[in-house]
Amino acid sequence: MLFDDGVSVKHFAVVTNRFDSQPQQLLEWNREKAGSIEALHDVLKNELAAGVCRALALGATRRGCG
């Protein structure tokens, strides 16, 4: 058994509009950037308050934040 969910095979796909690259280059680029979005999200949310609607502090309703 390869994975915890009991399956021995998983299939993944990479969809792109980068037609100027070879398939192998695209897969390597995708693997290199894996995990980097989580770090960016953490900085945006926790350090730059991207997950907070500041208008609520000024008396706006939740409807006005969305």
Domain residue extents for the chain: 1-66
pTM of the model: 0.40
pLDDT surpassing 80 at residue 15: yes
Token pair for 10: 């998983």
Rounded to an integer, what distance in angstroms lies between the CA atom of residue 60 and that of residue 44?
A: 22
Q: Which residue has the tokens 């008396």?
A: 59
What pLDDT score was predicted for residue 62? 58
The answer to whether 25 touches 19, Cβ cutoff 8 Å, is no
What pLDDT score was predicted for residue 61? 61
pLDDT tens for each residue of 18-64? 889 898 998 888 888 777 778 877 887 777 777 666 666 666 565 65
Rounded to an integer, what distance in angstroms lies between the CA atom of residue 25 and that of residue 38?
A: 22
What pLDDT score was predicted for residue 44? 79
